[in-house]
Every structure is written in C-alpha cells, then in structure tokens.
C-alpha cells in the first residue's frame, strides 16, 4: 500500500476519480451470509439477514440505506465491536473471526461519526495521532510519522496543529485529526462510520475528497453513509441496505440511471430533490 508521504503528495482539493478497480477473486475484505439479531423483551428481531459484501484494494465502497437498515451494525461486526450470529469473513486472505475481538484486524483502522468525542479533550494533537503507534509499539521515528499523517489529511503546516487540543479545532479539523490518527499505522482498510454527518457541507466534501485521495493510492475504504448524494460523490460502488439485506449494489452512475428496487428509487428521488443530477 502507498505510504502516508505519498498520500500527502497526492492530496488535492478535488481529486479526479480514476474509476473503480475490479474486485478480484480475493478482495481485501469479504463477508458472506452475515446475520445478526437483537433480543428485546424476550423477542428476537433480525437486523442483518444474510449479507454478502466485498471491498477491493483502492476501492471506496459506501453502505447506504435508511435509518434501521443495518449499516452501523454491519460496520461494527466488521470492526470487531459486535459479534455476528452467523456468516463468515476473510481479511487480507485470512479468516476473519466475526466476534468481539481485535484479532485479525491489525490492518484495519476506524473513523467514527462524532469528531467531538473521537478525540480525548486532554490530549494534544501530536499525542492523539501518536497513540495508535504507541499501542502497536511502533515508536520508531514516530514524530515524522505523525507529521506525515497530518500532512496527508491536509493539516499543514503541522506546527500550527501539533500542540493544539481538540477544543481549539473546528469540527472539520477534528475529523481530519481523527482520520490522521486512523491512517498513521498505514492500514490496508479504513472503516468510516457516517464520517461527515456532523460536519458542515464544505468540511464534509473536503473529508470525502480525502478518502478518494487515500483510495487512489491503494487504501480500501468502507464507509456508512445515509445521504445518497454524498455516497455517489465519493464511492466507486454503492451497497444499498434495506431491511437487513442488500437490496441493490453497483456503480453510482448505473444505480442513478436505473434503480432496480423501490428503496433505491426512493433514495434517488430524495437525492434529486436536493440537487443531485
């Protein structure tokens, strides 16, 4: 995978889409027949029912769907924050246990929805970005790696940000620090859960551009997103979830031109109503 230094050099205000790379027989991440139910008041409610999903190197895949479709549940299962009831998975060619564990996920990094709680209020930026390196005992040359990671997400010159606390940053800057923290270990897969939902439009577009820059250099990106317009802007491939299963999947242009399912048609109509063409 490309280094953080290469990502920094490639970062541009609006990267040109190179087009999706085809998924080979062994994608970076592959899920098969993943199912999950939750029990409440003695009743079991299915949330995911037999979901298949694949993400390839250098590809941005967006999980799209209405509230309750199962996007975040699937995200948490991939991240090892939640156990699946059934199904199988592989990551980087190795079996991925679908239980609550970090095992097998050393090559993944996470970006969460809320940039205001993702970072400790008591850690300076340099400490927050360094922490994954410290946890993984990769302390060699950490200062350079922290600077390169911040530069890769567009926080330059780094001296302006290194000694700031999160309270001294805007929401967009906080989310960029959270992404810098996620990529400092140079993961092969970046997981982002609704990463722009709490940002203003300008900051959100900037973050989406950053994901495209990282993917252009070989990093796989899987994100959940409720807004179809934003998903079409950033993703090589859309996976539409509805009622706990994959309703439709394909390239954004193909789905916009000819949605096959009712849920997809409704999402497209809503997106067009706010200006998606």
Q: Please state, in angstroms and rounded to a whole number, the distance separating the CA atoms of residues 156 and 101.
A: 35
Residue 96 lies in a domain: yes
Q: Please state, in angstroms and rounded to a whole number, the distance separating the CA atoms of residues 110 and 101.
A: 14
Domain that holds residue 69: 4-11+27-273
Q: What are phi and psi of 153, to 5 degrees?
A: -100, 10
Residue 22 lies in a domain: no
b/e burial code for range 108-120 (CB count within 10 A of at least 16 → b):
bbbbbbbbeebbe
CATH of the domain at 92: 3.40.50.300
Residue 21 lies in a domain: no
Residue 21 has pLDDT above 60, yes or no: no
DSSP designation for 112? -
Please work out, in degrees rounded to the nearest 5, the angle formed at the alpha carbon of residue 16 by the alpha carbons of 156 and 71.
85
Cβ(267)–Cβ(228) below 8 Å = yes
pTM given for the model: 0.84
Tell me the helices (H) and strands (E) count for the chain, helix number first.
9, 10
Residue 53 lies in a domain: yes
Q: How far is CA 74 from CA 21, 47, 89, 138, in A?
A: 23, 9, 12, 30
Which H or E run contains 265? helix 262-273
Structural domain count, the chain: 1
Q: Could you report the per-residue pLDDT of 112-137, keeping only the tens digit for each?
A: 888 888 889 999 999 999 999 998 88
Residues facing 224 on adjacent strands: 63, 193
User: Chain-wide mean pLDDT for the chain?
Assistant: 86
Q: Give me the DSSP letters along 21-49.
A: PPP-SS-SEEEEEEEEEEEETTEEEEEEE
Residue 171 lies in a domain: yes
Q: Please state, in angstroms and rounded to a whole number, the distance separating the CA atoms of residues 150 and 47.
A: 37
Residue 18 lies in a domain: no
- The pairing of strands 108-111 and 189-193 is parallel
Q: Could you report the per-residue pLDDT of 177-234, keeping only the tens digit for each?
A: 999 999 999 999 999 998 888 888 888 888 899 899 889 988 999 999 888 888 999 9
pLDDT classification of 26: cutoffs 50, 70, 90: low
Q: Could you report the per-residue pLDDT of 150-169, keeping only the tens digit for each?
A: 988 888 899 999 999 999 99
């Amino acid at each position: 995978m490309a280094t953080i230094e290469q990502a920094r050099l490639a970062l541009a205000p609006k990267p040109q889409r190179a087009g999706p790379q085809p998924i080979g027989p062994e994608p970076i991440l592959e899920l098969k027949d993943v199912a999950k139910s939750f029990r409440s008041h003695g009743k079991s409610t299915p949330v995911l029912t037999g979901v298949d999903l694949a993400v390839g190197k250098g590809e941005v895949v967006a999980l799209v769907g209405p509230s309750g479709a199962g996007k975040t549940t699937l995200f948490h299962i991939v991240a090892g924050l939640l156990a699946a009831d059934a199904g199988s998975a592989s990551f980087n060619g190795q079996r991925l246990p679908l239980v609550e564990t970090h095992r097998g996920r050393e090559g993944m990094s996470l970006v969460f929805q809320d940039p205001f709680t993702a970072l400790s209020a008591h850690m300076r930026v340099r400490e927050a970005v360094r922490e994954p390196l410290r946890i993984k005992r990769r302390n060699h040359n950490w200062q350079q790696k922290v600077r390169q990671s911040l530069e890769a997400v567009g926080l330059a010159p780094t001296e302006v940000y290194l000694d700031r606390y999160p309270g001294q940053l805007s929401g967009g800057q906080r989310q960029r620090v959270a992404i810098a923290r996620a990529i400092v270990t140079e993961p092969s897969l970046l997981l982002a859960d609704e990463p722009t939902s709490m940002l203003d439009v300008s900051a959100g577009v900037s973050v989406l551009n950053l994901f495209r820059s990282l993917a252009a250099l070989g990093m796989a990106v899987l994100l959940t997103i409720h807004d179809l317009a934003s998903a079409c802007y950033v993703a090589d491939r859309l996976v539409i979830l509805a009622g706990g299963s994959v309703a439709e999947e394909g390239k954004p242009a193909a789905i916009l031109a000819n949605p096959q399912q009712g849920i997809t048609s409704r999402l497209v109509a809503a997106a067009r109503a706010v200006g998606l063409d």
